[in-house]
Structure 1
Amino acid sequence: MRTTRLRVDRERCIGAGMCALTAPDVFDQDPDDGRVLLSHAEPPAARRAAARMAVGVCPSGAITLDEPESGDS
């Protein structure tokens, strides 16, 4: 069974912080450089909607979400 998995590209991140504001239980910001830190690569079901929203609001496209297609096992 495939699970929902997040990936971040810290080199691409510009430190806008939209991810941490949108899904604070999934993302944080590095206190030294402001770039994204991933707290949960496989967010629990209760956090997936916020994680999806964070992917959409990231201005640099530094976050990707790999979700199984419906019907995948």
Structure 2
Amino acid sequence: MRVEVDRDRCIGAGQCALTAPTLFTQDDDGLSEPLPRASHPPRHPLLHEAARACPVTAITVHEP
């Protein structure tokens, strides 16, 4: 499983980090980024919820 954040689309709302703080953080510019272990997480129950919480759909979850 791979998590991708479109940094051109991200507006830094932070909904992903609020929904799944163990999977997402915000960088110094306030933009979302998946935490390193989120690149290949087991089926974390909040992963898809965090992607859905993004107001500009900047998060894509690629399933194998």
TM-score normalised by L of structure 1: 0.76
Percent identity over the alignment is 52
Equivalence for 1:71? none
Match of 2:45, SS state, is helix
Match of 1:49, SS state, is coil
TM-score normalised by L of structure 2: 0.85
Q: Answer yes or no: is 1:67 the counterpart of 2:58.
A: no
Q: Which runs of 5+ in 1 are unaligned?
A: 69-73
Give the superposed CA RMSD. 1.1
Question: 1:38 corresponds to which letter in structure 2?
Answer: P
Question: 2:60 corresponds to which letter in structure 1?
Answer: T
Q: Answer yes or no: is 1:8 the counterpart of 2:16.
A: no
Which contiguous aligned blocks of 4+ residues in structure 1 show a shift greater than 6 angstroms?
A: none
